[in-house]
Amino acid sequence: MTITHHPGDEILAAFASGTLDEARSVVVAAHVSLCAHCRATVATFEQFAGALVERASPAALRPGALDAALSRIDADAPAAPVAWEAEPDCPLVLAPYPVGKWRWIGPGLYWRGADVPSGDGTRVFMLKAAAGSSMPHHGHSGIEWTCVLQGAFRHDLGRYGPGDFDEADDSVDHTPFVEEGDPCICLVAMQGNLQLRGLVGRLLQPFVRL
């Protein structure tokens, strides 16, 4: 597997520090699980953060802080883990979240939602597109982060295969085309909506609620 498109260092640093929101973290985690280069980068950021913590001056605890923390741990102790077996086209990063069934949203195009918490309206879902198909020309009203899990697609900014990370915002207009071979399956975090262009796009917009 050759991965050529990666999140930027700022995104990976936020992911490593835990300051990236949960919805986008899921997509970055999917990429990191497939990309040795980004796993090493995340590990470097984590080591650097650990070194800073070790050098920080100690702070006194409030009276009773330890007892309060231990009581919360006991109260919030998780139930026995439930065995979860990933489907062939569902990544392990979605194991903690309810995931819906695939549903048809357009010719050769299927969607399934994942119930990942988000404070800014970002939605996490999977898309599956048939080999040789293409999305209508479209833009975005917000940020869209995509990790390719299977297959490959192309648009004006390049080719994206398994493990590649694609970042789009409201400045990007494109027409992704799925290569021949396997269906293209992607994990997506999207803020806002797709904005379909042209006559075909306007006809499809009421049916493609993304």
- Give residue for tokens 């953060």: 49
Average pLDDT value over all residues in the chain: 80
**Over pLDDT 70: what percentage of the chain?**
69
Check residue 142 and give its pLDDT.
Answer: 74
At 88-112, the pLDDT tens digits run 568 899 999 999 999 987 788 898 9
- Give residue for tokens 């080591």: 47
One-letter amino acid at 27 equals V
More reliable by pLDDT, 74 or 28: 28
Check residue 106 and give its pLDDT.
Answer: 78
Of how many residues is the chain composed?
Answer: 210
SS3 39: helix
CB count in 10 Å sphere of residue 109: 20
- Domains of the chain from N-terminus onward: 94-204 (2.60.120.10)
Q: What's 76's DSSP letter?
A: T
At 113-136, the pLDDT tens digits run 999 998 888 999 998 999 998 776
Residue 80 and residue 179: Cα distance in Å, rounded? 43
pLDDT beyond 50 at 199: no
- Give residue for tokens 């297959």: 151
For the segment 47-56, the average pLDDT, to the nearest whole number, is: 61
Residue 168 binned pLDDT confidence (cut-offs 50, 70, 90): confident
pLDDT beyond 70 at 139: no
Asked if residues 153 and 201 have their Cβ atoms less than 8 Å apart, the reply is no
